[in-house]
């Protein structure tokens, strides 16, 4: 999904200082806010035409005309004053109207979707002559309103980072009360939006959304990569093992400038697994748990908290590393779906959460990077951990002390059978992600030859017929073979590539029988490997890679 870029936003959270009756006031204000919002939701239900108006502004005007008596509009159709006797300040009313509009829009789009699904299912059933199997329940309008009070201008004032003046409903009158606030200061240049009074863990907080005011949008990626000298990108491979993220900095021509391992996965998994094991044991003691009933709330809260915390720490480090090297783009791979494996509850749950964590790290990195004008992008994840970053041969992946003969997913080391490069498998994946990104945009820069469609059929079939009876080829021959293939000529003689290499790598390669994933960019257009990568990533010099193993 593509979203239009917008200015960076952030919400700052301030704790509201203690006042003897504040709890009652905030409670009363929130209750009133929700009552007004619920009233307007009902008005919208009676006059659904409001939702078809061009924007919220027009809808707001229409709703006020329906409910609010003024000199010109002395007889509103559904007067608010009759439904709710309390005096409602105009800005309080408007904030509640917007809350109601949001809920109504969401409810109606859900309802619309449900109707479409139902109609589709019924039509399908009718075509087959069977009764419809569609049993999903329709969405229902909110039964309970529990929104936080939103304060528009006039309801809050004199905010200076240490104190704020809030207008609250005490239960019988509106009063302005000064509160001390504590929290991280909002940096200069960030514009404050309308805050919310939020209750969290028995405490009242002020959540202030902010927008970066003088934000200059970064240049398009194509443009940035055209500047080969200065542009740098940071490629990130997210893992579910100890190295949660492996980052490599690439220059625009593909050379790897720096690497960083962000670790802490093992400890996180250990803590998480222990908590999930406790959940499992408690569940076995309790017996049956009703559906939709939450259990072990405290333990799950703990698990969520450590995950969230880790995602914040890791994403912050990724952005910091990218900034250290002046990278203007951070590249991830698209994340695959989680396929649960058999095992104990704690193991499955742990793995699932490790997968989720990657998504979280990605999302947090995205917003944290954008604030520093760093673009986030994602590339196709296909074979990023299976191919050699130097020559794209499928690699063997193995653990220390094992023979490098097969691809064991998750193993820490890799060995390329063609160019004999070896090293850390996750770093190899990270380098691949970076290359893939640069390759993607090099097709935009050097269009003429690059757009030719990948040759399907001919060459591939031909090579299949040829079978495995070919001699082991060197990587040099392999390039030759590939280039001919790209030009669409049938390759009869030179097919030493996959099969030849496969023999040496052994069983793992059997998994990917069939045509090699053909790449769209002719090899000549790809960044030069000879000098760049190899020189910068000597396999033996692995110990020299800076690592960030510090206490996650
Ligand atoms: Zn290689």
Mind listing the pLDDT tens digit for each residue in 437-447?
Answer: 999 887 655 54
Among 6-15, 228-237, 534-543, the minimum mean pLDDT is found in: 534-543
CA of 421 relative to ligand 1 center, distance in Å = 6
The predicted structure's pLDDT at residue 443: 63
The predicted structure's pLDDT at residue 286: 79
CA of 398 relative to ligand 1 center, distance in Å = 15
CA of 534 relative to ligand 1 center, distance in Å = 10
CA of 520 relative to ligand 1 center, distance in Å = 19
Both tokens assigned to 457: 């059929």
- Please state, in angstroms and rounded to a whole number, the distance separating the CA atoms of residues 180 and 162: 6
CA of 4 relative to ligand 1 center, distance in Å = 39
Query: Which of 534 and 61 is assigned the larger pLDDT?
Result: 61
CA of 325 relative to ligand 1 center, distance in Å = 27
Both tokens assigned to 194: 């309308």
The predicted structure's pLDDT at residue 67: 92
- Residue 530 pLDDT > 60: no
CA of 338 relative to ligand 1 center, distance in Å = 29
Among 287-291, 363-367, 435-439, 460-464, the minimum mean pLDDT is found in: 460-464
- Residue 324 pLDDT > 90: yes
pLDDT, tens only, 36-46: 999 999 999 99
Distances (CA, A) of 238 to 244, 246, 358, 422: 6, 7, 6, 20
CB atoms closer than 10 angstroms to residue 489: 13
Q: What is the band of 59 on the pLDDT scale with cuts at 50, 70, 90?
A: very high
- Residue 369 pLDDT > 60: yes
Most confident of 311-320, 345-354, 456-465: 311-320
Most confident of 175-179, 335-339, 468-472: 175-179
| Sequence spans of domains, the chain | 9-212, 221-452+533-548, 455-518
Among 60-74, 308-322, 429-443, 524-538, the minimum mean pLDDT is found in: 524-538
CA of 268 relative to ligand 1 center, distance in Å = 33
CA angle 108, 89, 34 (to 5 degrees): 40
- Please state, in angstroms and rounded to a whole number, the distance separating the CA atoms of residues 494 and 503: 16
Token pair 């960083």 is at which residue?
Answer: 260
CA of 522 relative to ligand 1 center, distance in Å = 17
**Rg, the chain, Cα only:** 30
CB atoms closer than 10 angstroms to residue 48: 10
The predicted structure's pLDDT at residue 196: 96
CA of 479 relative to ligand 1 center, distance in Å = 12
pLDDT, tens only, 473-497: 333 333 333 333 334 443 344 333 3
pLDDT, tens only, 140-163: 998 889 999 999 999 999 899 899
Name the nearest CA neighbour of 101 among 58, 143, 151, 144. 58
- In this prediction, residues 211-238 reach a mean pLDDT of 89
CA of 302 relative to ligand 1 center, distance in Å = 44
Distances (CA, A) of 474 to 160, 393, 406, 500, 531: 69, 11, 20, 9, 19
């Amino acid at each position: 999904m593509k979203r239009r870029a917008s200015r960076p936003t952030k919400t700052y959270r301030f704790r509201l200082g203690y006042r003897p009756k504040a709890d009652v006031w905030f409670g009363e204000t929130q209750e009133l806010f929700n009552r007004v919002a619920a009233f307007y939701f009902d008005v919208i239900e009676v006059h659904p035409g409001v939702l078809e108006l061009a924007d919220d502004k027009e809808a707001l005007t229409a709703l006020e005309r329906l409910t609010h008596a003024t000199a010109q509009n002395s007889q509103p159709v559904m007067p608010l004053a009759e439904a709710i006797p309390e005096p409602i300040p105009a800005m309080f009313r408007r904030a509640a109207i917007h809350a109601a509009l949001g809920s109504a829009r969401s409810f109606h789009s859900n309802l619309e979707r449900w109707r479409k699904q139902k109609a589709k299912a019924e039509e399908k059933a009718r075509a087959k002559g069977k009764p419809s199997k569609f049993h999903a329940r329709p969405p229902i309008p909110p039964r309970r309103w529990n929104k936080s009070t939103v304060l528009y201008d006039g309801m809050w004032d004199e905010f200076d980072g240490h104190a704020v003046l809030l207008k609250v409903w005490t239960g019988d009158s509106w009063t302005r009360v000064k509160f001390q606030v504590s929290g991280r200061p909002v940096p200069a240049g960030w514009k404050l939006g309308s805050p919310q009074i939020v209750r969290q863990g028995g405490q009242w907080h002020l959540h202030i959304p902010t927008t970066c005011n003088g934000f200059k949008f970064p240049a398009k990626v194509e443009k940035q990569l055209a500047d080969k000298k200065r542009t740098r990108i940071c490629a990130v491979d997210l893992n579910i093992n100890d190295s949660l993220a492996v980052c490599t900095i690439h220059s625009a021509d593909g050379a790897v400038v720096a690497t960083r391992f962000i670790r802490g996965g093992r400890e996180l998994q250990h803590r998480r697994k222990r908590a999930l094991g406790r959940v499992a044991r408690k569940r076995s003691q309790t017996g049956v748990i009703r559906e939709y009933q939450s259990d072990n709330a405290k333990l799950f809260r703990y698990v969520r908290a450590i995950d969230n915390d880790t995602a914040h720490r890791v994403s912050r480090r990724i952005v910091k590393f990218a900034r250290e090297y002046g990278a203007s783009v951070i590249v991830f791979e698209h994340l695959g779906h989680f396929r649960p494996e058999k095992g104990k509850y704690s193991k499955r749950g742990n793995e699932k959460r490790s997968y989720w964590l990657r998504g979280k790290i990605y999302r947090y990195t995205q917003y944290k990077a954008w604030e520093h004008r760093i673009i986030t992008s994602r590339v196709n994840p296909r074979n990023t951990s299976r191919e050699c970053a130097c020559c794209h041969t499928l690699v063997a992946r193995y653990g220390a002390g094992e023979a490098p003969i097969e691809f064991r997913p998750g193993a820490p080391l890799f060995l390329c059978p063609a160019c004999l490069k070896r090293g850390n498998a996750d770093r190899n994946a990270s380098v691949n992600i970076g290359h893939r990104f640069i390759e993607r945009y090099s097709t935009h820069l050097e269009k003429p030859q690059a757009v030719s469609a990948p040759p399907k059929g001919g060459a591939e079939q031909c090579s299949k017929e040829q079978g495995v009876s070919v001699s082991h080829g060197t990587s040099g021959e392999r390039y030759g073979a590939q280039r001919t293939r790209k030009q669409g000529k049938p390759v009869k003689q030179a097919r030493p590539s996959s099969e030849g290499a496969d023999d040496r790598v052994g069983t793992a390669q059997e998994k990917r029988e069939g045509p090699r994933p053909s790449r769209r960019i002719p090899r000549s257009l790809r960044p030069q490997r000879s000098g760049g990568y190899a020189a910068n990533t000597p396999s033996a010099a692995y110990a020299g890679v800076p690592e960030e193993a510090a206490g996650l």
